[in-house]
Every structure is written in C-alpha cells, then in structure tokens.
Amino acid sequence: MRHIHLTVILFILAFTTGIVMCENPAGAATAEEIDRKVKNTLENLYSKSPAAKALGEKASGILVFPSVVKGGFIVGGQYGEGALLKGGNTAGYYNTVQLSYGLQAGAQKYGYVLFFMSDSAMSWLDRSDGWELGVGPSIVVMDIGAAKAMTTTTLQSQIYAFFIDQKGLMAGIGLQGTKVTKINK
C-alpha cells in the first residue's frame, strides 16, 4: 500500500511539473511564436559557443527546437516544435516527439539545435513522413563548454547537436528514438 501512495505522489509531481514548465499548454505555437523563439535560442547559443556560431555559418540548414518538454513515470514522452532555417530564413516547421518506457520519473524542459553540414544530411528530413534520429546519418552531440576548443576544420560529421537551457528533474537526455516530422503552420 505504501508503494502505491509513493507511486501516485511521484506521478502527480511529474505531471504537475510538466504542466508548469509548458509555456503554452492550451495549444500549439503559431509560426510567429516559433520564429521568435528560434531566433532567441540561436542568439543565446551563439553567445555561449563560438564553435556553434562557426558551424551555423557553414551549415546547409539549422533545425532549432527552442523548447522540448519531457516527462514521465515508467511511461514517458517528449514534445516540442521548431523551425528549419536555410540561409537565415525559415524553410519549414517541425515537431519532435519521443515515447519511452522504462525506469524513469520526472519532468524536464530543454531545447536543442541540429546543424546539418551537407545537403545529403538535409535530405533525411525530406525523405519520409518523419525522420527518426539515430537512424541515418550519425549525430555528434556537442557540449557547449567542450566545443569552445573545436573549430569547423577539425569537425568532420554531417550533423551536430547542441542541447540548451536544461531545466527540471529527470535523469538522462538524448535523441535516440526521437522522431522529427514536418508540420504545417
């Protein structure tokens, strides 16, 4: 009986934290809201990481998810909306979705930015109704602090990912099993 009470309390805590952290719980963001958040997110990342800025200058495209909300208790999920930038302009809107099952509890909010360094890497976004990260070209996850010592001449991958603004209580963050799908705004 005591374990059931603890389970219920943890579930309520995770659910409540997820609702509180969600900026727009009543509905999806508009194109203008996404564009504004994408711009702010990139400016924030570039101010913290010169390597990210250098990647951005050479990238074929940049996919930015300013706010991804993740939560769960045994069964979990995450969701966020973002935009693909080509040449500094919005080329499309996307969502990121992940469902998971396992030993997990809590809620978390973060953003991430994917730098596509070639047109062939970009083609993974358009090949199907959705692209599952971890299937296809390899993604190198960069740490903002460690990336300061790297230059674009030493980086050889097709796609680089930066996680930003992590908040909340949930162990682990990753892209494996995350699906990215184009949406209409």
What are the tokens at 169? 């209580």
- Give, in order, the Cα–Cα distances in Å from 11 to each of 21, 75, 98: 15, 10, 19
Residue-wise pLDDT for 126-161, tens only, equals 775 666 655 555 566 666 544 444 444 445 578 888
Nearest-angstrom CA–CA distance, 27 and 42: 24
Beta bridge partners of 83: 64, 93
Strands (E), 5-158: 61-86, 89-116, 131-132, 139-142
Cα separation values, 8 from 15, 18, 74, 76, 105, Å: 11, 15, 12, 15, 11
30-54 confidence digits (pLDDT tens): 999 999 999 999 999 999 988 899 9
Every domain of the chain and the residues it spans: 2-183
pTM of the model: 0.74
- The Cβ of residue 29 has, within 10 Å, a number of other Cβ atoms equal to 19
